[in-house]
Structure 1
Amino acid sequence: MTAGPDGGAPRGANGVTPGHARPTRADAALHRFLAARRGGVDAHDAELWAALERAADGGKRFRPLLLLSVHEALGGTEAAAAAEVAAAMELLHTAFVVHDDVIDGDRTRRGRPNVSGTFADRARRAGAAPARAEHYGDVAGLLAGDLALAGAVRTVALCGAPPPTVRRLLDLLERALRISAAGELADVRLSLTGGADLGEILTMEEHKTAVYSFELPLQAGAVLAGADEAVTARLGELGRLLGVAFQLRDDLDGVFGEEAVTGKPALSDLREGKCTPLIAHARTTPWWPELAPYVGDPAIDAAAAARVRELLTAAGSRRFIEDLAASYGEAARAVAEPLDLGADLGGWIAATTAGLARVA
């Protein structure tokens, strides 16, 4: 799922995200954007915006905080613009979350009905047939995601930074959108046959998650701070490594995690037959013939999922992915070390990457 890392969001040594102690300026900017649109064209449009506002509520806000932390660490002075662009990062994430739930057919997020689930429920209560109610829910999810995406672009364009900076930010945003779209399409395509190798799947995960969740906010913070191209590029590499590491962790959580902790349906990845690195490794082991019937089975239940966990552990797949996540974390620390990111962000990177091998 595109927005995976936010379920088990990165935390530092003291259990908080970077910049937790500073005022959440990005939240204020995000709330201003959403509050200005509460009136609505009509009652149904107002309901759509209300559902979008609920979708944007919650989560750990680590994308805005990464941007603000980098901007501050590099001596940036565009505090107001940085807050606006940080809010845009959260709008972008919300757009991807809402669209991703439609793609995956999920009706809940963070333990409550998502946009699609909310509107499907309303249609059913109004007397619509089940299939038509589900279709209405998907339509609402697509439209709400589009509104959030347009809002993210608008917010960056009007952030108040100097025009050359805004242009550079929009270039970064467009790149993230294109690569993330390609990654999401690849995610669905690779699951059609289930025959992708580990390298293909890691590239897909880099594209669908790492670029927009880590590379984009880190590089946007640097651009706002006036950093040179070398620093900006190094932050991009740091974001790539962090993003893949946390997506690997999310893949583990999708099978071994608890829904109350991850915020997403516990069996959804197995039911959808997601082509994850965990499954790619399992295919190369003698345990695969017993595992294969469970992957992509829409009727899989808790008892069957427990057996899958046992088999993945016995096959060594769980340990392999834990070790792979840890190796990406070590590489991220090596890239971050020469950068002067301050005690706040630097300490967060060191603490969170050190704990990547642990699974919820």
Structure 2
Amino acid sequence: MTLALQSDQAVDALTAVDARLADYFADAHPLVARHGPLFLRLWDEVAASTVGGKRFRPALVVDTHRALGGEAEAEAIATGTAVELLHTSFLLHDDVIDGDTVRRGRPNLIGSLARDARQGGLGRSDALAWARSAAILAGDLVLHSAQAMVARLDLDGPRRHRLLDLFEESVFVTAAGELLDVAFSAGVSEPTAADVLAMTEWKTAHYSFEAPLAAGAILAGASDATIATLTRYGRRVGLAFQLRDDLLGMFGSESVTGKSTLSDLRGTKMTALAAFAHDSPFGAEFREAIAESDPSEALARARAVLVSCGGQVYVEELIEAQVRSAVDVIDAGGLPDELHEYLVDVADRATRRTS
């Protein structure tokens, strides 16, 4: 899914983000290499994990900044790069929490390091334990670097401090959402439907949509009213985006999404889909389906139940409602025509995607 404005200038900006990412990993190579081959191997795997991403979060930063008449192009590209590093950090930690070893259709950092460890003679359990620990450390490193990149921007103090506050808020909100996700899946807390939607929003919407849009506006020197409009829009589209992700996690094609359709079942994820099924007259049947020992059979049965109980339609309707609300927000927000048109297109692409 590409969310950048369709222009040579937009393509150049995302190429510049890719180049900035490559420079970031290359520049740290000498420092990393001083600490031995294992640390260097980890660093190279982190760099590899950033290849092939959609880059829509940096696109939101850069395109919003441009559409608002901003003149801090280099800072927008650097901030977009920092947002991508923040995303990488969250993915690394998320894969540990979810027990995933594949991302974007290939072994993720955990999968690659565990494979190497097994080839070196470790048993499967020990190899996975080592790789997951390494992924936690990698996520911590990249998280720090994302914030440091923003702190070093050549900006006036108020704008730089506002961006740092925005990044810090993203970390807190995303961590809160992830904690609830784990709590619901483990049975530590019994969620209501509203709790599940709040978790869904916190886990993705803030750092994926609210923060990039607000960052672009801050860099452009936009008014507080404009930033508030973009934040409200981003919250709604971000929720719809994650709801679409949940649908793809259950009904999507693994060859298209690049992620296992069994991961949500394996971790008994409490998505809006699952919450609806649990609370429906089909709840017992759904619980039996996901407890099926054969993964493929569990997936097939769960899909059938979610269709029968109306869960799939329910989530599709939630997505449509969030998109309508998001468009209403920007219709009333007094945004420049170019930005308004762009955001309408973003909402459509983000919520009708297949990967």
1:76 aligned counterpart, secondary structure: coil
- How many Å apart are 1:324 and its aligned residue? 0.4
1:258 to 219, 243, 253: 253
Q: Does 1:37 align with 2:20?
A: no
Kindly indicate whether the alpha-carbon contact (under 8 Å) linking 2:3 and 2:60 is maintained by their aligned counterparts in 1.
no
Aligned to 2:270: 275
Kindly indicate whether the alpha-carbon contact (under 8 Å) linking 2:3 and 2:349 is maintained by their aligned counterparts in 1.
no
1:216 to 211, 214, 224: 211
For 1:356 and 1:90, how far apart are their aligned partners in 2?
Answer: 17
1:275 aligned counterpart, secondary structure: coil
Assess, with a 3 A threshold, how the Cα gap between structure 1 residues 72 and 356 changes in structure 2: closer, same or farther.
closer
- How many Å apart are 1:133 and its aligned residue? 0.7
Kindly indicate whether the alpha-carbon contact (under 8 Å) linking 2:241 and 2:351 is maintained by their aligned counterparts in 1.
no
Aligned to 2:228: 233
Q: Does 1:23 align with 2:13?
A: yes
Over the aligned positions, Cα root-mean-square deviation in angstroms equals 2.1
Q: Does 1:98 align with 2:89?
A: no
Kindly indicate whether the alpha-carbon contact (under 8 Å) linking 2:243 and 2:315 is maintained by their aligned counterparts in 1.
yes
Aligned to 2:288: 293
Aligned to 1:114: 108
Aligned to 1:87: 81
Aligned to 2:153: 159
Bigger relative CO (Cα 8 Å, ≥ 6 apart): 1
For 1:252 and 1:302, how far apart are their aligned partners in 2?
Answer: 17
Question: What amino acid maps onto 1:310 in structure 2?
Answer: A
Kindly indicate whether the alpha-carbon contact (under 8 Å) linking 1:258 and 1:266 is maintained by their aligned counterparts in 2.
yes
Kindly indicate whether the alpha-carbon contact (under 8 Å) linking 2:249 and 2:261 is maintained by their aligned counterparts in 1.
yes
For 2:74 and 2:103, how far apart are their aligned partners in 1?
Answer: 31
Instruction: Give CA deviations for 1:113-168 in whole Å, capped at 9, x if unaligned.
Output: 11111111111111112221111110110111111111101110112122221111
- How many Å apart are 1:350 and its aligned residue? 2.1
Q: Under a length normalisation based on structure 2, what TM-score does the superposition of the two structures give?
A: 0.92
Aligned to 1:5: none
Q: How does 1:46-57 map to 2 (within 5 A)?
A: 46-57=40-51
- How many Å apart are 1:304 and its aligned residue? 2.8
Kindly indicate whether the alpha-carbon contact (under 8 Å) linking 1:330 and 1:353 is maintained by their aligned counterparts in 2.
no
Kindly indicate whether the alpha-carbon contact (under 8 Å) linking 1:322 and 1:357 is maintained by their aligned counterparts in 2.
no
- How many Å apart are 1:198 and its aligned residue? 1.1
Instruction: Give CA deviations for 1:84-120 in whole Å, capped at 9, x if unaligned.
Output: 1110000000000011000101011111111111111
- How many Å apart are 1:307 and its aligned residue? 2.1
Name structure 2 gaps, 5 residues minimum.
Answer: none
For 1:34 and 1:341, how far apart are their aligned partners in 2?
Answer: 37
For 2:3 and 2:132, how far apart are their aligned partners in 1?
Answer: 33
Aligned to 2:174: 180
Assess, with a 3 A threshold, how the Cα gap between structure 1 residues 288 and 20 changes in structure 2: closer, same or farther.
farther
Instruction: Give CA deviations for 1:231-287 in whole Å, capped at 9, x if unaligned.
Output: 111111111111100011001011001112212111100111000101111122222
- How many Å apart are 1:18 and its aligned residue? 11
Q: Does 1:313 align with 2:307?
A: yes
Q: How does 1:141-152 map to 2 (within 5 A)?
A: 141-152=135-146
Question: What amino acid maps onto 2:101 in structure 1?
Answer: R
Percent identity over the alignment?
Answer: 40
1:227 aligned counterpart, secondary structure: coil
2:13 aligned counterpart, secondary structure: coil
Question: What amino acid maps onto 1:309 in structure 2?
Answer: R
Instruction: Give CA deviations for 1:51-79 in whole Å, capped at 9, x if unaligned.
Output: 00011111210000000011111111111
Q: In the comparison of the two structures, how many residue pairs are matched?
A: 348
- How many Å apart are 1:341 and its aligned residue? 4.6
Q: After alignment, is 30-39 or 91-100 more displaced?
A: 30-39
Name structure 1 gaps, 5 residues minimum.
Answer: 1-8
Kindly indicate whether the alpha-carbon contact (under 8 Å) linking 1:19 and 1:69 is maintained by their aligned counterparts in 2.
no
1:106 aligned counterpart, secondary structure: coil
1:179 aligned counterpart, secondary structure: helix
Assess, with a 3 A threshold, how the Cα gap between structure 1 residues 346 and 290 changes in structure 2: closer, same or farther.
same
